[in-house]
A and B are shown apart, each in its own frame.
Chain A
Amino acid sequence: GAVVSQHPSWVICKSGTSVKIECRSLDFQATTMFWYRQFPKQSLMLMATSNEGSKATYEQGVEKDKFLINHASLTLSTLTVTSAHPEDSSFYICSAGTSPPDTQYFGPGTRLTVL
């Protein structure tokens, strides 16, 4: 149990385009979903926290207009990187937690490369 999927697993796009990444909890309802960014050989940086049906809470320094997060249902959250640039290239990982979310279950990650 507690499986979280992400789609796509990798994506290459041109600079200036937008990319949407989906995060799904497959066998449980996730009241809270988290989006992280991981740079090579570094730890995970929390970008934002989203609760179903409400606006995401962004961490300091994360541009909310650039990284749009939608948590439309208890099993789906999406991260859209708008007007992507090469510096947005990274490994994006989502996680899902139940209530109370003592444990987060992580998706396999999405590698974004912006040319």
Chain B
Amino acid sequence: GNSVTQMEGPVTLSEEAFLTINCTYTATGYPSLFWYVQYPGEGLQLLLKATKADDKGSNKGFEATYRKETTSFHLEKGSVQVSDSAVYFCALSVLSFLTFGTGTQLKVEL
């Protein structure tokens, strides 16, 4: 079956620190990979996506590269801000069905 594994949180960083949230997956077929972000009390927003191997998704300073050889899609940002505090979900899609990781809470402090 399909599954997504994310590093457990919470991850606490100081403002302007470098962020990495690890994500690995197992899937049958050729999945598309996504990162979604959920701010407190809100639904999910698509942050970025990649649809094939070696593609890099990027948005708002965040980026992730689809690594087929390591089945990974790690999320990175060079300099986080307090406003980035949220829960981040890694997900894969095969035949339109999304499988989510458990989410990683990020807390950014001044």
Contact = CB atoms under 8 A, between A and B. Distances in A.
Q: Is chain B a partner of chain A in the same complex?
A: yes
Interface of A: 6, 32, 34, 41-44, 46, 49, 93, 95, 97, 100-109, 111
Interface of B: 32, 34, 36, 41-46, 49, 51, 89, 93, 96-98, 100-103, 105
Main secondary structure of the interface of A (DSSP, over half): strand
Contacts of B101: 43
Contacts of B93: 102-104
A101 B96 contact: yes
Contacts of A46: 97-98
Nearest to B44: A106
Contacts of B100: 43-44
Nearest to B46: A103
Nearest to B45: A106
Contacts of A6: 43
B51 A102 contact: yes
Contacts of A44: 44, 89, 100
